[in-house]
Amino acid sequence: ATLAELDDVLVDCRACPRLVAWREQVAREKRAAFRDEEYWGRPVPGFGPADASLLIVGLAPAAHGGNRTGRMFTGDRSGDVLYAALYDAGLASQPTATHIGDGLELFGTRITSPVHCAPPANRPTVVERDTCRHWLEQELDLLSPTLRAVVVLGGFGWQALLPVLSAAGWTIPVPRPKFGHGAHALLSPTEAREHPLHLFGCYHVSQQNTFTGRLTQEMVTDVLRDAARAASL
Ligand code: SF4
């Protein structure tokens, strides 16, 4: 399968009853507020080229962001910060992301999340995270020939991703790298993989972090620049 084929199947996934109910309820109730657009209300696939060398891993789509527009971090305040930082780091064609068809392109970079459906209060359960894991495993497997670096936004993504990277053929250092803003680890390849993988931590671009000043756009840009360099972008 190709990444595009994987995304085509993913958008029909209904494996998590609570998330299916929530994403559809939000879409039904909010459709009136966004009358001119179709409200997506389905799993949100990864965004970016299939031969990306840098992968950004978030948490889950926002109810009125990705869940509304159908594209990762598109149409919400978290995305405003992330895409501005990607643009400043030379990884995006424009600093804003409003809707599919807005002309935005990512360069050598793909954005995904360990949970593909919007959860209530932005909090997926452990069962939901584990249920969604096979999508991330397949995406990583398809990206692995070109993948050189991963930026993880927040501790949830970090916890979700480490076992997936280990199963996918990279060795997690001992002691296990801890999540933090600016954290970096180099994962060596097992015989299943040809290249090492650089892992970077970055605080999540949530409003909770950016409104309180815990995270600034410059801090995100700095991590993205380091990761882009590690990925030879
Ligand atoms: Fe499917 Fe993942 Fe959405 Fe659960 S969160 S319904 S596994 S796409």
Q: ipTM value of the model?
A: 0.99
pLDDT average, residue stretch 98-113: 97
pLDDT digits (tens, 9 = 90+) for 36-60: 667 899 999 999 999 999 999 999 9
**Closest residue CA from atom 7 of ligand 1:** 132
What's the confidence (pLDDT) of residue 38?
77
Q: Is the dihedral of CA 91, 115, 50, 27 positive or negative?
A: negative
Q: Is residue 98's pLDDT more than 80?
A: yes
What's the gap in Å between 16 CA and the centre of ligand 1?
Answer: 6
Enter the tokens of residue 80. Answer: 């405003």
Q: Examine residue 175 and say whether the peptide bond preceding it is cis (omega within 30 degrees of 0).
A: yes
* Residue 106 Cβ contacting ligand 1 at under 6 Å: no
**Model pLDDT for residues 121-172, shown as the tens digit of each residue:** 999 999 999 999 999 999 999 999 999 999 999 999 999 999 999 999 999 9
Residue 114 CB contacts under 8 Å (≥ 6 apart), including other chains: 57, 59, 60, 129, 132, 133, 136, 156, 157, 160, 161, 164
In this prediction, residues 52-75 reach a mean pLDDT of 95
Asked if residues 43 and 117 have their Cβ atoms less than 8 Å apart, the reply is yes
Residues facing 106 on adjacent strands? 92
